[in-house]
Structure 1
Amino acid sequence: MLKILLGLFGVIPLLFISRGWHLVHVSFYLLACLFMMLGGAPYLFYQISYFMGCDIISFGLILLSFWICGLMIMASQSVLKYDYYPSLFLFMVLFLMLMLYCTFSAQNLFLFYLFFEGSLIPTLFLILGWGYQPERVQAGMYLLFYTLLASLPLLVAVFYIYSSQGSLFIPFMLSDVALSSSSLMYLALIFAFLVKMPMFLVHLWLPSAHVEAPVSGSMILAGVLLKLGGYGLLRVFNLLTALGVKFNFVWVGISLVGGCLVSFICLRQTDLKALVAYSSVAHMGLVLGGLMTLNYWGVCGAFTLMIAHGLCSSGLFCLTNISYERLGSRSLVINKGLLNFMPSMALWWFLLSSANMAAPPTLNLLGEISLLNSLVAWSWATMIGLGVLSFFSAAYTLYLFSYSQHGSLYAGVYSTAGGYSREYLLLFLHWVPLNLLILKSESSLLWI
């Protein structure tokens, strides 16, 4: 694991080469290939040490991080081409990748907390430095205070675990009597992750951060940073099984009802980016519900949907940005009739929208079926919420596709525009893994 970390540090000198962004871009994919070649049985911890290690959950999410960070650079040509501090921008992407790599491979709970919080800093700078509107300062404050305030109890809980167990080595941590009797401890340990997912009721930072962030910020937020919450829950549930059985019904209820309400909010959106951002809240609500059931189907489905949503949502943000660069607006009133204006992009809108509503043969379908299984097995009453959530998930995705692609063009625009080959490659690299990974679906079920 350390060899890949040193490889990431080795990319830093490339930042100082003028117009050398493509070297950084290629380096991410090269390091991703090296990481895949490390080998080891996917259902065991391997490459393990006291500091770093990897199992199937870490493996999938680290690969997703490398993939999305590479695509972020490909999508951000406006920053790199027009010299909006390109070296600083690339440094922020690299710093974010370092933080994510260390978070997903950390074997010590305190180091995990440290890197979990560290990933906030480059994200904040991406929003404040390369965002579009003056409201980005407010969005940055939302992101900062929601995350930090929720994380302080987690830090106290980490110190308490150290005092009671004498170790913070994650694979060795077990639930004990002191933890099993403290409901305050349970809340302190999981609340930071619920905000990061984000759970409905503490989700307000996410739409504002997405709307104000540049395309690269939106991609990494939707693609990887939301998955930190699910990953953290998977790591600490080893400590909280007894209390989880008692209290998890609260979070399942909130996530299902919240997912339905957010789906209704999506149907009222006129901003393309806000619609895709709210759809992330609905999907991650389903992931949270599956995780909280604490059963085999739920954990496997949550992991699968986290990977699938990371690719699909990131691709939709890229499409939104492509339209924004041509028309100068993200409003659905102006972005209509795109089938006439950019006919070559309509296929990609269709493919990624169908992935967003979990149509076959995408990985989203596998994840959602597993989560439906886990929640219905947990309680028959969840079928009502799941039915509404699944139906309206398809409804707002169709609303997004039909309103943006059909209708007459706004303000008498009669010309047509094609995409650049870079944009087609960018969308292709989002869509292909999403549809090919389902052929190797058993890998998500091996780790347990």
Structure 2
Amino acid sequence: MNVSLILIILLVGAFATYIAGDKLASKVALFFGISALGCSIVLLNHFNMGENISFLCQWINQPNVSFALKADGLAIAMLLLTTALTPIIIYTSFGTEYKNSKAFYSLILFMSFAMVGTFLAADGILYYIFWELSLIPIYFIALIWGNGDAEERKKAVVKFFIYTLAGSLFMLIAFIYLYQQAGSFLIEDLYKLNLSATEQLWIFLAFFLAYAIKIPIIPFHTWQANVYQKAPAVGTMLLSGIMLKMGLYSIIRWQLPIAPLAAKEYMYIFISLGVAGVIYGSIVALRQKDLKKLLAYSSLAHVGLIAAGTYTLTIDGLRGAVLQMIAHGFVVVGLFFISEIIFRRYETRTIAEMGGIRTQSPKFASMFLLLVLASVALPTTFNFVGEFTVLYSLSQINVWFAFLGGTTIILGAYYMLKMYQQVMLGETNTKVFADVNFKEGFALVLIIGVLFFFGMYPKPITDLITPSLEEILTQINRIN
């Protein structure tokens, strides 16, 4: 099967959505989003039958750049995450009216196109192009359709754009240097390089800067909370559910195998940064009065733990990190959708102005509670599988890392349940809160179904990603 077909579907879908006009844009975008998901499932079936899923053709002669795509188990897992969440995110937007909706929905599909390209790219420059392309649509989505004061929104979005672009330039410099050594940007050629310890350190740091900003890892997180708050719900879902996974995925795919000596030498430093993000994000989340900001800092804590898992350089750490990436993608999209549903009815995101929703909307309260329990890694949820595996890998490195990383569960349970109590229980808001309609309920049930199904039966994803991660770990350990 030609793996580029998924990219073609999403790119054609972006143009078709724009041409369809404002009235049909959302439905056309949903159709192409579902089509991309269907194509991804077909791709998975071909992969499971042992077919080599790749595409390679010469693109630029000087420098030597190839249009190279490759889908191993790890890439397919991230592809499925992207193509599954894209139609869900589009569907959740149906309850909100957007001006110039044809541009809005076409940008969503174009962003999905760029993120899929990032996960599939097997050439450094092609990967970098897709990486940068994903920044353009989210910039306009947040700037044009965002919330709050226009001037404040502009400052937050421009800061995010400059931060991300600046970090990516260091990654580009690293690729140029690697090309000078290998004569190629193909990932398999870059893997074969025998760089000195000093060269690997600089390459590692250049990649780290790009990824740390995108994820984000403290102290490169200062853009996150404001952008999550100012962006429309769809933009926040795209950022937290999929886009930040590009950085985490890239650590495993590009940074660690190309610069393994630096990864091993400075392992404790980078694990410590991840664990620090867990503690910092959790403590700051405790003090938030805005629901979206609380969820933003909660996300910071969770991705800090994922990043720490990747830097353990163990199969459990890598596997747990990927499992938690996928689980976090679904739960954070669900929680931000919950926030949007409340905003549609109360027109506020201030937690103190909510309350008493459970008595008016028991179905909504039940679904919200299930998402909160998944977020705090209750056993039988997908998040528990990922977090437990990551914490186990941290204990193999140093038990204190596991102890400190485990605060994400303890503190997370405290601030999430406290938030739930304030929002759903307590005194009733004077405004009437209508129970969820079919569209809202259907999207939430889909997300909750995924979280509990794979929480009780993660084997299909574990079997999919483990061979790829073992190959990457072999590459990391080839130089002792």
1:289 corresponds to: 308
Deviations for 1:351-374, whole angstroms, at most 9, x for unmatched residues?
100010011211111101110111
Whether 1:445 aligns to 2:448 is: no
The alpha-carbon distance between structure 1 residues 396 and 328, as it changes in their structure 2 partners (threshold 3 A), is same
Percentage identity across paired residues of the two chains = 27
Task: Pick from 8, 16, 20 the counterpart of residue 17 of structure 1.
Answer: 20
Q: What secondary structure does 2:399 align onto?
A: coil
Question: Offset of 1:42 from its aligned partner?
Answer: 5.2
Question: Offset of 1:384 from its aligned partner?
Answer: 3.1
Distance 1:43 1:124 in 2: 40
Whether 1:47 aligns to 2:62 is: no
Deviations for 1:10-62, whole angstroms, at most 9, x for unmatched residues?
32324323422213212211221122112344598832123111011211111
Task: Pick from 107, 128, 131 the counterpart of residue 122 of structure 2.
Answer: 107
Q: What secondary structure does 1:226 align onto?
A: helix
1:91 corresponds to: 106
Distance 2:411 2:219 in 1: 19
Determine if contact 2:92/2:440 at 8 Å carries over to the other structure.
yes
Instruction: In structure 1, give the amino acid aligned to 2:79.
Output: I
Determine if contact 1:53/1:107 at 8 Å carries over to the other structure.
yes
Q: Which runs of 5+ in 1 are unaligned?
A: none
Determine if contact 1:215/1:318 at 8 Å carries over to the other structure.
yes
Q: What secondary structure does 1:49 align onto?
A: strand
2:291 corresponds to: 272
The alpha-carbon distance between structure 1 residues 3 and 416, as it changes in their structure 2 partners (threshold 3 A), is closer
Q: After alignment, is 347-356 or 59-68 more displaced?
A: 59-68
2:477 corresponds to: none
Deviations for 1:388-439, whole angstroms, at most 9, x for unmatched residues?
33211211111221111110023x34x4412221000111121111222241
Distance 1:252 1:3 in 2: 38
2:221 corresponds to: 203
Distance 1:362 1:387 in 2: 17
1:5 corresponds to: 7
Distance 1:117 1:398 in 2: 37
- Pairing 1:272-421 to 2, within 5 Å after superposition: 272-410=291-429, 412-413=430-431, 415-421=432-438
Determine if contact 1:179/1:185 at 8 Å carries over to the other structure.
no
Distance 2:86 2:248 in 1: 19
1:181 corresponds to: 198
Question: Offset of 1:292 from its aligned partner?
Answer: 0.5
Deviations for 1:315-343, whole angstroms, at most 9, x for unmatched residues?
00000000001001000111222212332
Determine if contact 1:304/1:366 at 8 Å carries over to the other structure.
yes
1:159 corresponds to: 176
Distance 1:383 1:73 in 2: 37
1:32 corresponds to: 37
The alpha-carbon distance between structure 1 residues 88 and 203, as it changes in their structure 2 partners (threshold 3 A), is same
Distance 2:237 2:75 in 1: 19
The alpha-carbon distance between structure 1 residues 310 and 127, as it changes in their structure 2 partners (threshold 3 A), is same
Deviations for 1:132-154, whole angstroms, at most 9, x for unmatched residues?
11221111012111101111111
Distance 2:49 2:184 in 1: 24
- Pairing 1:106-145 to 2, within 5 Å after superposition: 106-134=121-149, 135-145=152-162
Question: Offset of 1:98 from its aligned partner?
Answer: 1.2
The alpha-carbon distance between structure 1 residues 396 and 368, as it changes in their structure 2 partners (threshold 3 A), is same
| Structure 2 length-normalised TM | 0.89
Deviations for 1:180-231, whole angstroms, at most 9, x for unmatched residues?
3232222112220111111021111111111001010011111100101111
Question: Offset of 1:94 from its aligned partner?
Answer: 1.4
Distance 1:156 1:87 in 2: 37
The alpha-carbon distance between structure 1 residues 57 and 331, as it changes in their structure 2 partners (threshold 3 A), is same
Q: What secondary structure does 1:147 align onto?
A: helix
Distance 1:363 1:10 in 2: 33
The alpha-carbon distance between structure 1 residues 175 and 446, as it changes in their structure 2 partners (threshold 3 A), is closer
Determine if contact 2:145/2:232 at 8 Å carries over to the other structure.
yes
The alpha-carbon distance between structure 1 residues 43 and 225, as it changes in their structure 2 partners (threshold 3 A), is farther
Determine if contact 1:45/1:53 at 8 Å carries over to the other structure.
no
Q: After alignment, is 5-14 or 138-147 more displaced?
A: 5-14
Determine if contact 1:200/1:259 at 8 Å carries over to the other structure.
no
Whether 1:426 aligns to 2:464 is: no
Q: Which runs of 5+ in 2 are unaligned?
A: 57-67, 471-480
Q: What secondary structure does 1:181 align onto?
A: helix
Distance 2:74 2:389 in 1: 16
Q: What secondary structure does 1:333 align onto?
A: helix
Determine if contact 2:33/2:109 at 8 Å carries over to the other structure.
no
The alpha-carbon distance between structure 1 residues 186 and 78, as it changes in their structure 2 partners (threshold 3 A), is same
Q: What secondary structure does 2:54 align onto?
A: coil
Distance 1:71 1:154 in 2: 32
Distance 2:17 2:401 in 1: 52
Distance 1:46 1:200 in 2: 38
Question: Offset of 1:381 from its aligned partner?
Answer: 2.5
Determine if contact 1:44/1:56 at 8 Å carries over to the other structure.
no
When the two structures are aligned, how many residues end up with a matched partner? 444
The alpha-carbon distance between structure 1 residues 256 and 78, as it changes in their structure 2 partners (threshold 3 A), is same
Determine if contact 1:42/1:55 at 8 Å carries over to the other structure.
no
Question: Offset of 1:298 from its aligned partner?
Answer: 0.4
